[in-house]
Amino acid sequence: MTTREPLARHTYADGSGAPLVLLPSFPLNRRMWDDVAALLPRGRTVLAVDPPGFGASPPPERMADALGADPQPSLETVADAVAATLRATGVDRAVVAGLSMGGYVAMALLERHPGLVAGLGLLSTRSTPDDDAARANRHRVADAVVAAGTLDELAGTPRALLGADSRVGRPDLLERMARWIGDANPHGVAWAQRAMAARPDRTAVLTGFAGPAVVVVGDQDEVTPVPAARHMAGALIDAELVVVPGVGHMTSLEDPASVASALGRLLARVADADRA
User: Does the residue 169 lie in any domain?
Assistant: no
Using the predicted structure, report yes or no on whether residue 1 has a pLDDT greater than 60.
no
User: Does the residue 176 lie in any domain?
Assistant: no
Using the predicted structure, report yes or no on whether residue 272 has a pLDDT greater than 70.
yes
Give the pLDDT band (50/70/90) at residue 4.
confident
Give the pLDDT band (50/70/90) at residue 3.
very low
Domain count, the chain: 1
Angle between helices 60-67 and 75-88 (to 10 degrees): 60
Overall average pLDDT of the 139-161 stretch: 96
User: Does the residue 270 lie in any domain?
Assistant: yes
What's the mean pLDDT when you consider all of the chain?
96
DSSP letter string, the chain: --TT-SS-EEEEE--EEEEEEEEPPTT--GGGGHHHHTTSPTTEEEEEEPPTTSTTSPPHHHHHHHHT---S--HHHHHHHHHHHHHHTT--SEEEEEETHHHHHHHHHHHH-GGGEEEEEEES--SSPP-HHHHHHHHHHHHHHHHHTSSGGGTTHHHHHS-HHHHHH-HHHHHHHHHHHHTS-HHHHHHHHHHHHT----HHHHHT--SEEEEEEETT-SSS-HHHHHHHHHHSSEEEEEEETT--S-HHHH-HHHHHHHHHHHHHHHHHHHH-
CA distance 221 to 228: 10
CA distance 59 to 8: 11
Using the predicted structure, report yes or no on whether residue 239 has a pLDDT greater than 60.
yes
Output the pLDDT for position 275. Answer: 87
The string of pLDDT tens digits covering residues 20-45 is 999 999 999 999 999 999 999 999 99
Overall average pLDDT of the 261-269 stretch: 98
Overall average pLDDT of the 163-190 stretch: 95
User: Does the residue 179 lie in any domain?
Assistant: no
User: Does the residue 111 lie in any domain?
Assistant: yes
Range of the domain at 267: 9-129+200-275
User: Does the residue 68 lie in any domain?
Assistant: yes
Express as a percent the part of the chain with pLDDT over 90: 96
Output the pLDDT for position 104. Answer: 98
Output the pLDDT for position 276. Answer: 78
Q: Nearest to residue 63, comparing CAs of 48, 53, 76, 75?
A: 53
Longest CA pairwise span in the chain (Å): 56
User: Does the residue 145 lie in any domain?
Assistant: no
Give the pLDDT band (50/70/90) at residue 2.
very low
The string of pLDDT tens digits covering residues 192-225 is 999 999 999 999 999 999 999 999 999 999 999 9
Specify the CATH number for the domain of residue 51: 3.40.50.1820
Amino acid letter, residue 91: V
The string of pLDDT tens digits covering residues 124-138 is 999 999 999 999 999
**Is there a contact between 18 and 51 (Cβ–Cβ < 8 Å)?**
no
With b for 16 or more beta-carbon neighbours within 10 A and e for fewer, the 128-148 pattern comes to ebeeeeebeebeebbebbeee
